[in-house]
Chain A
């Protein structure tokens, strides 16, 4: 699994060249290969989204470092119940770039209030023992702070004006659930709580995968979108 994920160069794109001498290469594949060559020239990580294979690959220098299988790629938009607009999606093959990343602002800040002189080498720092409690048995036991992991559903803004929504759960689409969601959204708007979302390219994946690519979706991350067909 690991070895296949690490196959040199995207197989689909390399295949373009393997066949290049036999038959005229497909223009869109060549365009994608050229875009990938542009990304591979830099010592950076980039993502490769293949809507046909339903995978998101983490790559650098043309090499697949890891693969994230997708359970769905959808265009998700907010639309009235009684009217459905057919939305197109950003053209591809193309390189989309994260303009405002979900992983940009999730940092814990450590800020000591004051600094004291460091103990000299070899000096033992005197332990400041906590004041002795009168009832040792009643002393509170510190509990470790639970680690806060990245979310499993989040949005990033792309430079083409669309959102990229990574989620482990796509919105329900049955008639009943759509109607219920519409009623809920309507009530929220009545109370001024409604929120408008711009249309999003939505990548559905397992919650673990959604969490593990969160830190990659920071501002400036390029995403090459290309398909085998």
Chain B
């Protein structure tokens, strides 16, 4: 039997003591480097109102100077891939990750449906642009965060809290209205 012994997993604790000794050890220079790094972080970290979206739990949080103003159930991207049977073109329905900015806001937004919205339903994208406009699907308000991603309303309220979108963030009516009125253009949005 001993001859047949394999190699089991052996676990040893990760030593939490830093193991790299930086080249710079001069106290004055270290202070200067630390001060500069701190300023660099201070300069970019969010101030005022900002939005955080947890795409796994499907929750959107609105903060002002670190204080939570509102939490809402939302829907985020499915993570699926859609393939166009005509040419193999692909779309990945992920909500974006990282920092974005509310670029514009609109009341009663009209959605210009992109090609994938037709292809997903098994239709050819129309040649007439007028056939792409949809005045209902986005709800009463929309906050545009770049690259076609929008925080908007939904007709499918029962799907809030699930990953069902094409990358946009869907909110319920009241939460969307609150967000629209409290998040000005320029508000930073953090999605993870």
Chain A residues with CB under 8 Å of chain B are: 2-3, 6-9, 14, 16-17, 20-21, 24-25, 27-34, 36-37, 40-41, 43-45, 51-52, 58, 60-63, 65-66, 72-82, 84, 86-89, 91-94, 106-121, 170-171, 173, 178-179, 181-190, 194, 197, 201-202, 211-213, 215-216, 226-227, 229
**CB under 8 Å from chain A, chain B span 64-114:** 66-68, 78-83, 85-86, 92, 97-100
CB < 8 Å neighbour of A111 from B31, B36, B85: B85
Chain B residues near A78: list those with CB within 8 A.
7-10
The answer to whether residues A227 and B37 also contact, given A109-B81, A189-B6, A216-B192 and a CB cut-off of 8 A, is: no
Size band of the interface chain B makes with A: 35 or more
What residue in chain A is nearest B54 (Cβ atoms)? A66
Chain B residues near A181: list those with CB within 8 A.
6, 8-9
The answer to whether residues A3 and B20 also contact, given A65-B192, A76-B9, A115-B123 and a CB cut-off of 8 A, is: no
**B85 & A171 in contact (Cβ 8 Å cutoff):** no
16 pairs from A and B in contact (CB 8 Å cutoff): A3-B66, A20-B35, A28-B20, A28-B22, A29-B34, A40-B44, A45-B98, A60-B98, A66-B54, A77-B10, A91-B19, A112-B122, A116-B124, A121-B131, A215-B55, A229-B16
What residue in chain A is nearest B10 (Cβ atoms)? A79
Chain A residues near B190: list those with CB within 8 A.
45, 60-61, 63, 65
A73 vs B78: C-alpha distance in the bound complex, in angstroms?
31
The answer to whether residues A92 and B119 also contact, given A8-B66, A189-B6 and a CB cut-off of 8 A, is: no
A51 vs B13: C-alpha distance in the bound complex, in angstroms?
10
Chain B residues near A66: list those with CB within 8 A.
54, 192
A76 vs B66: C-alpha distance in the bound complex, in angstroms?
38
**A87 & B30 in contact (Cβ 8 Å cutoff):** no
A183 vs B131: C-alpha distance in the bound complex, in angstroms?
67
The answer to whether residues A17 and B1 also contact, given A2-B68, A60-B98, A111-B85 and a CB cut-off of 8 A, is: no
A37 vs B54: C-alpha distance in the bound complex, in angstroms?
23
**A110 & B120 in contact (Cβ 8 Å cutoff):** yes
Question: Most chain-A CB neighbours within 10 Å: which of B37, B67, B78?
Answer: B37
